[in-house]
Structure formats: C-alpha cells, structure tokens
Structure 1
Amino acid sequence: MFNAKDGELGMSENELEGKVALVTGGSRGIGRAICHRLASDGAKVAVNYQNNKDAADATRSDIQALGSEGVTVQADVGKPEEVSRMVRETESSLGPIDFLVTNAGVAEIEPPSEMDFQSFKRMMEVNVDGTYLPLIEVGKGMRSRGFGRIVCIASIAGLRPRASQAAYGVSKAAVIALARNVAEGWAPAVRINSIAPGLIETDMIQVMTEEQRNAIAEATPMKRLGQPEEIAELAAFLLSERASFTTGQCYIASGGRVTLP
C-alpha cells in the first residue's frame, strides 16, 4: 500500500495470502484463470458455477494443487435467493469475503430484430442482475467491515456499437455503469472497478468460425486474440493494493481494438 511518509508504493510478498475471494462463473474461461491467479497468490477461492459441476470441481482441484483452499458453490447469480445462499455458503466455508469478481455471463450475438424477448430478458438477468445481486449482497459485509475489493468483468461490446451485439452490448454497458456509480458511494473502504476484454480465447468463442476469429485477430493492433490469463493478471492487480488509488474505472484489455480519449 502507499506509504505517505516515504512516498512509495510498498508491496508485501504475498498480499493476497489468506484473503477470501468469490468468483462467479469461475469454472471456465476467464473465471477459471482468475481463480488460478488468486490461488497462486495464496487467496482462498470460492468457485461459483450454475450447471457444470465437473468443471467447477476441476477448478477447485487446481486451486488446492496450488496450495490454497478452494470450494465450489452452485448458484444462478440472476436469482436473489440463490445469490444470498451462495454468499452464506462461501462465508461459512472460507470466512468473510474480501474479494468479489463478477464474471458470470452469457452472450447471444443476434440483431435485436431477430432476438426474441425471452432471450433478451435472460441475457439481462445473467449479465446485469448477475452482477448487481452479488455486488450488493457481498457489499453489505464489505461495508460493515470497512474493506472490500470488487472487479466486474464487462466487455468492449459495452463501449463500441455493433448492430449484431445490441442486446449484449447494452448488458455490458450496464455492468460498466453499475461499477462506476456504486464505486463512488462505497469509497474509500470498498474499491470497485470493471474490465472490458476484447475477444478472448475461451470456449465461448467456439461458435465462431476460424475465419471469423482470424479476421478479428487481424483487425486487432496486437494481431492476436487475448488469453484468459491476461485478464486474470489485470483482475489480480485491481484487487491488490497496487491499485490502491483506483476505483470506479473501466480498464480496456482489447489488444488495442478499442481506444477512448
């Protein structure tokens, strides 16, 4: 943390050691990479999943292999009663939650004229409600204890217009706005930031053809797609005291595809 006397940013060797982290959608892709990254720094990690218990169990085994404590907790993060239970189970197993990463999400890439209303509602439920509900529920304890760090995983779709991503873009823009607005009211004890990744190589992009993926990589200044571990590195930084003067910000990790003034 910042040492006002010396004017330097000091780092403890294992500053995440013993901290408790809850990662929603933690069994696969970016969420799994974040679980691995936090566990490697000694954090105890709760892996939230909705349906894929095998993937969640595998992530928990990875956490334990890294020498940390891990648990799995099933919940649909778009449903208030399940989120409340998820938080209770996590804190019963690991202790009060210090870090929250809201990563669970769904993506349906269709023009709004072709998307039925139920699909639209489900995307909002998972992406928006699924960020809001854990943030508010976990935030109660963080605020009462006077400490908390939250990272919300959004997308560059929330920052740049694409006709085929209208509904998805709206949901991710809401995540960015939610993090910014809540951060202002909860500072200084609780810091909240969001990350807007570009296209990341996870199983979510397998619906795209190789030609489509290559075209996006070529259109990216870095000339490649991102890796989950790169987003995990940024998330770990934002949760740490290296980012002690940062809250309410959206960090773009898109290989240069999105630049804002």
Structure 2
Amino acid sequence: MTSSLKGQVAVVTGASRGIGLGIARELVQRGAKVCITARNAEPLDDAVRDLGGADHAIAVAGKSDDPAHQEEAVARTMETFGRLDMLVNNTGINPVYGPTLDTDPVAAAKIFAVNVLAPLAWTRLAHAAWMGEHGGAVVNLASIAGIRASRGIGMYGVSKAALMRLTVELAAELGPDIRVNAVAPAIVKTKFAEALYEGREEKVIRSYPLGRLGVPEDVAGAVAFLLSADAGWITGQTLVVDGGVTLGGGL
C-alpha cells in the first residue's frame, strides 16, 4: 500500500479482539484514529490500551444491532475526532450449529439483525454524520460461507450472502463519493471460529493450498487496502481472503 490513512477516522464494530481488533490495529498503524465497539466495556478498555490509548482510539460498549448504541458510537466519534471517513462492519454472530431446516426462527432473525440489518444501519448513520457530504469508504466483513455451501452454519452463510448483496446495492447507490466493498475470509484463528478447527487443525489445513489457516493480520491488511486511496477505483466488490481453500477444498 502506498496511501497513508493519516488524519482519517474509522468506526470498527466488534473490535475488542480477533479480526476486529486486528483491523483497528492496522488502521492505527497507518495513521488513522478509531472508535471501536463491542458488547463489553472491560475488553474494549484493554483494546484501547493496546491501540495506544486515547490519542488513537475510543471505545463505546453496546450491542451492534441496538439503535441507541449505534447512534451513541457515531455521535461519540464525531464529538471526539470531528469526522468519520471509514466504517468497518465487522460484528457477526452465529449462535446455532446444525441443519439449516432446524434453525429456530428467532435465532435466524437475530442472525440477520446483527449480520445484515446492523451493517445497513451503521452505514446509514455514517452517511448522515459525515460521509454523505464528505465521502468515505465502507468495508463489510462477509465470509466464504456466503459463497458456497457450509454445512452446520447454513443460516450464517445465508446472512453473509445477503451482506455481500447489500454491499453491491449500497455501492451502486452511494457512489461516486462513498465506496462500499466486502472481505470474505475463510477460517481465521480466532475465538469466534474455534469450533471449525479446534482439535483438528492439521486435517483442516490440508484443504488450504497456502498450508495454513488465516490470522487476523491477513484480513486486516485486505480491509486497510480497500479503505485506502489505493482502492480508489474499486467498489461493490467482495475480496476473498481464504488461503486458496475455495479453489477446491472444504471447511
């Protein structure tokens, strides 16, 4: 990457650990300031310290699909930093495992509320607060589960497919001043994905041509690229970051 993010400000949801914290760290290293969100205040406070303290980051605790939390985070970002150039919709949930037909409707609705409708709401608020007048960039965290069958996590995959479609629609509607893209990782070694590889990692990585699972830094670099001016002619796209597993392997 050739473009610095110095002077720019981002909101990164779900960023107290894992991929979200990795993304926030990458953005700070490239000169940006960030507002990070997650459900619990204590790990967020730890994350702010990890990011260099109040000069670089603030944190707002709350549920990603809670409108009051969304509004507070965006308002705090504007009050603290005076702008909002970048939005990373990282928060995602998958509270169920098993056949898609057996998914409880209440659980399915919650998955869509967090994984699809919340990113739409965050984007709407970022647009109203700053991006609509000044421009900006949005990156949604999708998954390869949204581009092929993923047994056991089918409804999660359906939600990520919808998020990728939402990315396309928003990109078409918000250009030319706002770019909207997505990143679709395969298995990344985080607490969220432990059930997909724990105790059988060597078997799982046989399907990966690059010979390993992902780490948060793999995704963070891709997100930072899509947010930067280096990706200034890219919008409405989903960048697959998967170690090559979709070339023919399986989860």
Q: Fold conserved (TM > 0.5)?
A: yes
State the AA in 2 paired with 1:33: G
Instruction: Specify which of 79, 83, 91 is matched with residue 92 of structure 1.
Output: 79
Cα deviation code 1:94-141 (max 9, x no counterpart):
221101000001123321233222221211111112211101111223
Cα deviation code 1:43-68 (max 9, x no counterpart):
111011112x2221111112226x95
Distance 1:231 1:257 in 2: 15
Give the length in aligned residue pairs.
247
Match of 2:127 in 1: 139
1:74, distance to aligned residue in structure 2 (A): 1.5
Match of 1:5 in 2: none
Identity score, percent = 32
Q: Secondary structure at the match of 2:162?
A: helix
Distance 1:256 1:183 in 2: 26
1:30, distance to aligned residue in structure 2 (A): 0.4
Q: How does 1:1-261 map to 2 (within 5 A)?
A: 11=2, 15-51=4-40, 53-64=41-52, 68-107=55-94, 108-208=96-196, 210-259=198-247
1:11, distance to aligned residue in structure 2 (A): 4.1
RMSD of aligned C-alpha atoms? 1.9
1:164, distance to aligned residue in structure 2 (A): 1.8
Match of 1:6 in 2: none
Match of 1:7 in 2: none
Distance 1:258 1:35 in 2: 27
Cα deviation code 1:22-77 (max 9, x no counterpart):
000011100000010001111111011112x2221111112226x95210011222
Q: Given that residues 35 and 59 in structure 1 are in contact (C-alpha distance below 8 angstroms), is that contact kept between their aligned partners in structure 2?
A: no
1:145, distance to aligned residue in structure 2 (A): 2.1
Distance 2:99 2:226 in 1: 34
Distance 1:69 1:28 in 2: 17
Q: Secondary structure at the match of 1:246?
A: coil
TM-score (structure 2 length as normaliser)? 0.92
Q: Given that residues 140 and 167 in structure 2 are in contact (C-alpha distance below 8 angstroms), is that contact kept between their aligned partners in structure 1?
A: yes
Distance 1:125 1:74 in 2: 18
Distance 2:245 2:131 in 1: 36
1:206, distance to aligned residue in structure 2 (A): 2.5
Distance 2:237 2:164 in 1: 8
| Structure 2 portions without partners, runs of 5+ | none
TM-score (structure 1 length as normaliser)? 0.88
State the AA in 2 paired with 1:102: N
1:259, distance to aligned residue in structure 2 (A): 4.5
Q: Given that residues 45 and 63 in structure 1 are in contact (C-alpha distance below 8 angstroms), is that contact kept between their aligned partners in structure 2?
A: no
